[in-house]
Amino acid sequence: MIRHICMFKLNEENKEANIAEFCARAESLKAIPQIKKFEAVTNSKDTPDSNYEVSLIIDFDSVDDLNVYQAHPIHKEFGAFVGTIRKERACIDYEF
């Protein structure tokens, strides 16, 4: 199994609205059949401002399935949106 964790810091402008829209639009990713487990999460408001605001945590059976997800049109559309609201991204893909 592969776990894909992708975290984002968002632009300051309209941050709260963008967090909500990120989470709403992330739901579309669930339609990608290679996904075995999916979570879109937000940082706790009581934690440091230096933390990332939103994260995707997605499990796949294999790296091949992760690669199919990366190229899927739904993911590409979501990524295009995220590109308009993010200022930083960090990602890790690991076997478990």
Pick from 76, 49, 48, 75: which is nearest to 60 by CA? 75
Task: Give the CATH number for residue 65.
Answer: 3.30.70.100
Looking at residue 49, its pLDDT comes to 87
pTM value is 0.94
Across 7-19, average pLDDT: 96
* Host domain of residue 81: 2-95
Where does 27-72 have alpha helices with state H? 63-71
Q: pLDDT by residue (tens digit) across 14-73?
A: 999 999 999 999 999 999 999 999 999 999 989 998 999 999 999 999 999 999 999 999
What total of structural domains would you count in the chain? 1
- Residues in Cβ contact with 7 at an 8 Å cutoff, skipping those fewer than 6 apart: 52, 54, 55, 89, 90, 91
From the centroid of its chain, how far is CA 65?
Answer: 16
